[in-house]
Each structure stands twice: as C-alpha cells, then as structure tokens.
Structure 1
Amino acid sequence: METSASYDGSCHCGQVKYTVKISPPISEQTVIQCNCSICHINGYLMIYPKTADVTFHHADDAVKVC
C-alpha cells in the first residue's frame, strides 16, 4: 500500500504559500540535487510534483504577471 504526505511551503517573502501532496512521501522519493552554486551552498534538493498535487494559498493580488 502506497502512502502519501503533504508538505507546506512558501516563496522567499512569504506572500505566496502552497501545499504539495505527493505519493510516496519525500523520504521514499528519488530527489534531484542541483549543482549550481546557490543550490549547492544551501543544500537544496528538488522534486517535481504533478501540477494537480499543488495547491496555492494566497491573496489574488499576491501574484502579478510581469
């Protein structure tokens, strides 16, 4: 039986918040390690969830098209 988990996150300034639901949980996923200088210094690891599994929580004016 495969389980799922939900993870909360936000943009750097905190105006845009989101929840990602993935299955299996991150501890059982294959993650990708970027080798650029920023990701390497900060130890960032990446996953690529399906768009349908991401829910955004923000005010309508928090995101703008440039």
Structure 2
Amino acid sequence: MTIQLKVPDMACSVCAKNITEAIQNLDSQATVQANTDTKQVNIETQASESSVREAITSAGYNPT
C-alpha cells in the first residue's frame, strides 16, 4: 500500500529520520521517502494508514 502524508512540522533531516524510524518500527519492510522541502512523506507499507499516522504522531509529529 502506498500512503502519502503531509507532515508540516518536519523541519530537518533529523525529523525525517525520526519519522522514518517510527514507520519502520511499525513495519520493518516499509520504504519511506521524506522530503523536508515539501513536507511530504511517501510510504510503501503493509501497515494501515491509521497505524502509520499513529506511529508518526507518537514520534512527536502531526501528519495531515
């Protein structure tokens, strides 16, 4: 499943790394592309969108 989310408070590469790790803790096979310029996160995962959103929120970010 492909999930595309905006994460307006993803400000730097450390934020992108934290979000990537949060998603990969949920699904170790997930691929994550986080663009700090556009605030866009593209995720290929077997996890549900709601669980991905929850993982990002738990990492301290607010996906929209």
**Is TM (by shorter chain) over 0.5?**
no
Bigger helix fraction: 2
What's the TM-score once normalised by structure 2's chain length? Answer: 0.26
Structure of higher RCO (CA pairs closer than 8 Å, 6+ residues apart)? 2
What's the TM-score once normalised by structure 1's chain length? Answer: 0.25
